[in-house]
Amino acid sequence: MDSQKFVELEERFGAHNYHPLDVIIDRGEGVWVWDVEGKKYMDCLAAYSAVNQGHCHPRIVEALLEQAPRLSLTSRAFRNNRLAGFYEKLAKLTGFDKVLPMNTGAEAVETAIKAARKWAYTVKGTAEDQAEIIVFDGNFHGRTTTIVSFSTEAQSRNGFGPFTPGFKIVPYGDFDAISEAMHGDVAAILIEPIQGEGGIIVPPHGFLKHLRDLADEHNSLLMMDEIQAGLGRTGKLFAYQHEGIRPDVVVIGKALSGGLYPVSAMLADDAVMSVFHPGDHGSTYGGNPVAAAVAMAALDVLVDEKLIENSASLGAYAIERLKKLEGDAHVKEVRGKGLWIGIELHESSGGARRFCEVMQHRGVLCKETHVHVIRLAPPLIVTREQLDWALDIIETTLAADDPKSLLLEEAVSVS
């Protein structure tokens, strides 16, 4: 079946809640994917950081194939022999006392919200139903009804009210605004240390440290959403480590499974995690044996293959190279940390999608966000040679007055 037929079937039978590029991927290996016609592409999105370890990493696939036919699910009504090892490995790697496993990132965020509220009522002494969680404009923490209640993206909210109360939104990176927003009933501050969906927005240096100090001053929790930023993406295990702080709660997902299986988790010390008692919270699939086996293998790959270090070195190289485009006709700003880079275009450039579509046809897959930003996030296994190949295509595409003219030139060259 050719690509167009797949597009037609998807449009006919699927809900129209995504606007993907029209490339029909059939298989993947490492940094590369192939479409149904056999054309090869470099994946420079990595499933929004879920595929940090590369597509179908052999060690992670082996863990999946070994565990799946042996024992897949017991629910949490019974114990299984894989969960304890997963807990131990993740706790020791991250330095937190306890792990609460879930499936998707949004579930992990919801878990953290529940933990913060219950902690406020049972530990801090906040009056019932008065706990407030401070969040930031431009945030993206998921798409549940509670989470979109504190989104500032109109499309995420329109038509989905009434919304969950108990959240206060302040400007991202604004030292004074967050200081003024703090008060005695603030249970927690919830933040992405770098905003991914918002366009790879990096807060001013010292902002996360400021949040840590404020949380301590007001006896509030500091909660980091590291679902996209964490597990090596920014050149550290966690993005908050760039400022040398330690939050009270961290939520992770995506690369926790290397893209093989939905696995997420909330991390915290005993002082926070002890608010949960049997029956307070749970998930049928959370912590299942397949998820635990896959996640352990994914973490081993991250550490053993030094993917965090690779992200730090190649990310710095890529950002330095791409920053030379700033001031050109199309590029307004290049920003990021590690192999997580946002290229913001001038509004006059006609939007980021048309550049992504041209790069797709030239063999590089990336995606736009917020109309004018191109996100780059290749798998962390990428080599310098592979990265240079992709950067050459990205740079020539962004330098062209009309990027589609490149396709015509290449078609003539091939013919």
Q: Report the CATH number that the domain containing residue 287 is assigned in CATH.
A: 3.40.640.10
* Mean pLDDT of the 358-369 span: 97
pLDDT for residue 414 is more than 80? no
Residue 50 · residue 254 · CB < 8 Å: yes
Residue 283 · residue 268 · CB < 8 Å: no
Residues 341 and 408 in one domain: yes
111: how many CB neighbours lie within 10 A of its CB? 24
Q: Residue 128: what pLDDT?
A: 97
For the stretch 201-205, contacts whose Cβ atoms lie closer than 8 Å and that sit 24 or more positions apart, written own/partner, are 201/138, 201/172, 201/173, 201/335, 201/342, 202/335, 202/336, 202/337, 203/172, 203/173, 204/173, 204/175, 205/243
Taking only the tens place, the pLDDT of each residue in 121-134 is: 999 999 999 999 99
Residues 98 and 38 in one domain: no
Q: Which residue has the higher pLDDT, 55 or 413?
A: 55
pLDDT for residue 377 is more than 70? yes
pLDDT for residue 409 is more than 90? no
User: Would you state the structure tokens that stand for residue 144, as one six-digit string?
Assistant: 């549940």
The residue among 254, 284, 304 that closes a domain is 304
Q: Residue 339: what pLDDT?
A: 98
Residues 345 and 226 in one domain: no
Containing domain of residue 366, as a range?
3-57+306-414
Residues 90 and 53 in one domain: no
The residue among 239, 269, 304 that closes a domain is 304
Residues 129 and 187 in one domain: yes
Residues 258 and 167 in one domain: yes
Residues 38 and 84 in one domain: no
Among candidates 23, 45, 110, which has minimal Cα distance to 340?
Answer: 45
The residues that are catalytic are: 140, 225, 254
Q: Which residues pair with 340 in a beta bridge?
A: 337
Taking only the tens place, the pLDDT of each residue in 21-35 is: 999 999 999 999 999
pLDDT for residue 380 is more than 90? yes
pLDDT for residue 410 is more than 80? no
Residues 313 and 366 in one domain: yes
CATH number at residue 350: 3.90.1150.10
Report d(CA 231, CA 34) in Å as an integer: 26
Report d(CA 310, CA 303) in Å as an integer: 11
Q: Residue 44: what pLDDT?
A: 98
Phi-psi region of 125 (alpha: psi -120 to 50; beta: other; left: phi over 0): left
Phi-psi region of 148 (alpha: psi -120 to 50; beta: other; left: phi over 0): alpha
Taking only the tens place, the pLDDT of each residue in 236-268 is: 999 999 999 999 999 999 999 999 999 999 999
Residues 211 and 311 in one domain: no
Task: Provide CB contacts within 8 A for 97, sequence distance 6+.
Answer: 91, 268, 269, 270, 273
Residues 112 and 225 in one domain: yes
pLDDT for residue 269 is more than 70? yes
Half-sphere exposure of 403 (CA within 13 A, CB side): 23
First to last CA, the chain: 26
Average pLDDT over the chain, rounded to an integer? 96
Q: Residue 328: what pLDDT?
A: 87
156: how many CB neighbours lie within 10 A of its CB? 17
Report d(CA 333, CA 327) in Å as an integer: 8
Number of domains in the chain: 2
Residues 389 and 300 in one domain: no
Among candidates 136, 140, 141, 155, which has minimal Cα distance to 113?
Answer: 141
23: how many CB neighbours lie within 10 A of its CB? 18
The residue among 304, 335, 366 that closes a domain is 304
Sheet with 186-191: list strands edge to edge: 98-102, 264-268, 249-252, 221-225, 186-191, 132-136, 167-170
Residues 46 and 64 in one domain: no
CA dihedral over 285, 289, 290, 294, signed as positive or negative: positive
pLDDT for residue 412 is more than 60? no
Residue 168 · residue 134 · CB < 8 Å: yes
User: Would you state the structure tokens that stand for residue 219, as one six-digit string?
Assistant: 């006896």
